[in-house]
Structure 1
Amino acid sequence: MRNNKTLSRAIVASALSSTFCAPAVMAGGFALNEQSASAMGAANAGTAANPENATTVYFNPAGMSQLSGTNISFGAAVLDIDAEAKKETASARNTLGQPVSGSNGGDIADLAVLPNFFMTHELNDTVDVGFGIHAPYGLAADYENDFVGRFFADKTELQVISFSPSIALNNGEGFSLGFGVNVLYAEGRLSKYQDYSGNEAQLRQLGYAGPALEQGYFDVEGDDVGATFSFGLLYELTERTQIGLSGQTGTELELEGDAKLSNFPQVSLGAGGLDVNVANVRENAVVPLEIPESLTFGVRHQLTDTVTLLAGATWAKWSRFEALDVESDEEGGAISAVGGPKYGDEDIIGHVSENWKDTWQVNVGAIWQATPEWAFKAGYAYDESPVNENFRTARIPSDDRQWLTLGTQYAHAQSGWTVDVAAGVLLFDDVDVNEQEYTVDDEPAEGAASYSATYELSAWGAAVQVSKAF
């Protein structure tokens, strides 16, 4: 019995290509910038120093100290990303180095809707409290079933919801401190088709004369709850200028769930030679997901009575994300038994080398208060991608981007209602993907599987927000 199991594992080991690939958005890792229409109008410039409404709970909790009474802000953003491999450039090879037939995968991203709600309340002259419910991280991508690179990527889904209570303290002389907790609920799913060409070749060499092995399907999903902590400083330098600093700690979420693999060839020795049975197998799995630390600096300067200038910069420690693994959560699992030797760690079901890098986003913007009711905004941001171009994958056809935005705000002073509307366009260069498999030591893994393509990327976003001061 033990010899049969060893033979089965040895033959199947060469089949497991990358069973897990990292989640991705087009830039900024998997963080979402679209949290506020009032901030989007100026491309998020100066948000750490410009507490316009209750969304300051997210951007800088210290800003609550500059809001009077009770404030609410709620709204939604839509983000539409077009990401598609150029047909003439998409090509792939299987484990044996043979060409894989298929399409370019189509447009992999659908329209996304990102709702949010924030509230603040002034307890007294010194203390303000607030909370927010929003989606700080997430993505959704899906290739067509006949995608030529289907052995590397199919579906990619990540949803993170944050509940963020916060508190702000001020000294009454223009200096404020803020603190918050972000309770995160995350759920994710990743899938790909499974290449068994290497298995079949080994079986044929050993005398197998049965039917061809059909491709399999790998699917892993899980969820977790975690927390990060945020802080903020806000200081009025003069009546016209103030600066802010906000930050967030990092954490590691462990998405616990199931890994499933279909059409898995199980091999045994019978009286007539090799017996090959196809089965669907599963294994308890954990997917670590790194949430990075970040720091944001902002400045707001009132140039004239009607014109305000904004600027800011955000640093994020995406270098936390060295690799993304699917780890076995049980002993003797069928999938990790073959994935572990391939990637160099017996507890690994799947491995993708990422080696992401720290990033900067810089923003500038302006607000023109045309009338007491109407304001108009414009902004520009340059946003670095953390993706290491030497390890770029089909799930992460990402590169640096530029963000151009416009916005308008209508405020009705008597009622306290304010409405913000904003829209923006994201500009990308074409992105080259040259993907292969690596071990946990970043060495090329066994087999000749590869995928390459040039991607065309474009995107636009829009948001609406309603705020009320009581």
Structure 2
Amino acid sequence: MHNGFMRVTALALGIAGALAMGNAHASGFQIRENSVKNLGRANSGTAVAKHDASVVSNNPAAMVNFDRSAVQVDMTDINLDASFTGGGTTAIGTPLSGGNGGDPGSATLVPAISAVFPLSGAFDKVTVGVSVDAPFGLKTEYDPQWVGRYNAIKSDVKTVDLNLSSAIAVTDRFSIGAGLILQRADVTLTNAIDYGTAICTASVPGNLGASVANCLNPAYPFRPQANDGNVEVSGKDTSLGWRIGLQWKPTDHLTIGASHRSEIDHNLTGKADFTAPSAVAAVLGPRVADQSINAPLTTPSVSTISVEYDFNDAFRLMADYQATDWHSLQSVKIFTGGGGVLGNEPFQWKDTSFYSLGGEWDLSPAWTLRAGIAKDESPTNDTYRTPRLPDKNRKIFSLGATWNVSDAISVDAAYMRINVDDPTINGATSSSGSHLTGTFKAHADLFGVAAQFKF
């Protein structure tokens, strides 16, 4: 008996499989939206920002830019509009039934909070900070009966980081910083299982003499797509990581920042919850029973270099280069509680680069305007791309503004448009042995608001 229907192949508890098109705001399943100011500059200048408490997460060395304590709250609404066109075949070559899945994305609110505290007295060169944000994750859901239901239905991924950072101003022009990351990962994935095909193509107890011919016999009770079930796989874990950074001002007009965020190793533990029609359960018995699972997952390291050039007191340009080491997701294996392999999902992801250019203009003491453009590479490839993550390269455009209500209070707003190159699905194989082929079209609109209070 094939065990493909038991493998939950798309689990990719490594979140990779979960991040379908849900929030196409950064390549893979990365979330950069921890700052509305950065959003308005297309995420340029993230490691040298002067009035942005998100540097607790983006580059702790830049916390020395604050001369007063500050608390900042950022909220970004990420809304994906995506559609699929295509079809596929079952494991024996018959056409897959079902629609296009609808819009798998929905409006998702991504919050972040950060606080910076310059110390005084004997520690007046030291600044500490704390933040909570979501560096990876999203939520997507297709219609339960869509043509790709055996590959993916629901994908819900949450990672939350608690960041504790500190910085030292070595000189007036050079600072270093470091931080500790406590990361919580929580993943839930579902997809349909074509039990009819699994049974009619294999001999199992209670199903003597089964053959592919039975699959094509209208009178046979177990046929492709006639006995669908479902599986829900969930796992959680908490683990530790770190980050380091530096900031250098070689001249009064030029600032350079660099930061590195470490990989974080997880071992997600949870369960696989199978649902099968009674006729299927009578034939397969314990092979459709729920079971415990675990899956190793490594979230990637991220390195960032930022440059800011101040042309004058009112106008400045920023640029970012960011490298994300997605090679940690060459494949994801899912193990049973007894140590057996429940699934092995190949991804063969590549490392990616992100490039951005942005600017700010102080229109008046009360108002600052900003804009930016960016290019974001995708880690996926045409050979291994699946509907769990039909990701491709993106072009990004953004606008933003800050209103300085008073010397202590400021309010930010920003809009970002992301255009995704059309991702293709070239015969993606599901855990049921079906093959899906087609094309996605997608774009994302992001709206952010934030407030900062200095004291």
User: TM-score scaled by structure 1?
Assistant: 0.86
Matching residue of 1:91: 87
Tell me the amino acid that sits aligned with residue 380 of structure 1: I
1:183-222 equivalence runs, <5 A: 183-196=182-195, 197-203=197-203, 206=209, 211-212=221-222, 214-222=227-235
Q: Which aligned pairs between 1:263-412 and structure 2 lie closer than 5 A?
A: 263=276, 276=283, 280-330=288-338, 347-412=340-405
Alignment of 1:51-130 (within 5 A): 51-86=50-85, 90-124=86-120, 125-130=124-129
Task: Quickly say closer, same or farther: Cα 1:144–1:237, change in 2 above 3 A.
Answer: same
In 2, distance between residues paired with 1:373 and 1:348?
A: 60
Structure 2 regions of 5+ residues with no counterpart? Answer: 12-16
Aligned to 1:236: 249
Contact 1:309 1:367 in 2 (8 A): yes
Q: Distance in 2 between matches of 1:380 and 1:164?
A: 28
Q: What percentage of residue pairs aligned between the two structures are identical?
A: 27
Other structure's SS at 1:63 match: helix
Give the whole-Å Cα distance in 1 for the aligned partners of 2:253 and 2:56.
22
Contact 2:257 2:305 survives alignment (8 Å)? yes
Give unmatched runs, 5+ long, in structure 1.
Answer: 1-10, 269-274, 332-346, 439-444
- For residue 427 of structure 1, what is the aligned residue in structure 2? 419
Deviations 1:381-400 (A, max 9, x none): 10001112210001111100
Q: CA deviation at 1:106?
A: 0.7
Q: 1:321 to 1:211 in 2, by over 3 A?
A: same
1:69-128: CA deviation from partner (whole Å, max 9, x where unpaired): 211111200000112102xxx212112222111111111011100111100111122111
2:363 counterpart SS class = coil
Q: Structure 1: which amino acid aligns with 2:251?
A: T
Give the drift of 1:305.
2.4
Query: Given the alignment, which residue of 23, 31, 36 partners 2:18?
Result: 23
What is the aligned residue count? 428
- Verify: 1:250 aligned to 2:235, yes or no: no
Residue identity opposite 2:365 in structure 1: P
Aligned to 1:338: none
Q: Secondary structure at the match of 1:50?
A: coil
Q: Which residue of 1 aligns with 2:151?
A: 152
Q: Distance in 1 between matches of 2:145 and 2:381?
A: 27
Once the two structures are superposed, residues 354-402 of structure 1 have per-residue CA deviations (whole angstroms, 9 ceiling, x without a partner) of 0000000001000011111111000011000111221000111110001
CA deviations on 1:26-46 (whole Å, 9 max, x unpaired) are: 342111121111111111112
Q: CA deviation at 1:276?
A: 2.6
TM-aligned CA deviation for residue 14 of structure 1:
5.3
Could you say what secondary structure the match of 2:391 adopts? coil
Which residue among 238, 244, 249 is the counterpart of 1:225? Answer: 238
Alpha-carbon distance in structure 2 between the residues aligned to 1:277 and 1:244: 59
Residues 14 and 199, structure 1, Cα contact 8 Å, conserved in 2: no
The CA distance in 1 between the partners of 2:444 and 2:315, in whole Å, is 29
Give the letter aligned to residue 20 of structure 1: A
Q: Is the 8 A contact 2:68 2:454 kept in 1?
A: yes
The TM-score normalised by the length of structure 2 is: 0.89
2-side partners of 1:239 and 1:436: how far apart? 54
SS in 2 for 1:58: helix
Change in CA separation of 1:267 and 1:70 when aligned onto 2, cut-off 3 Å:
closer
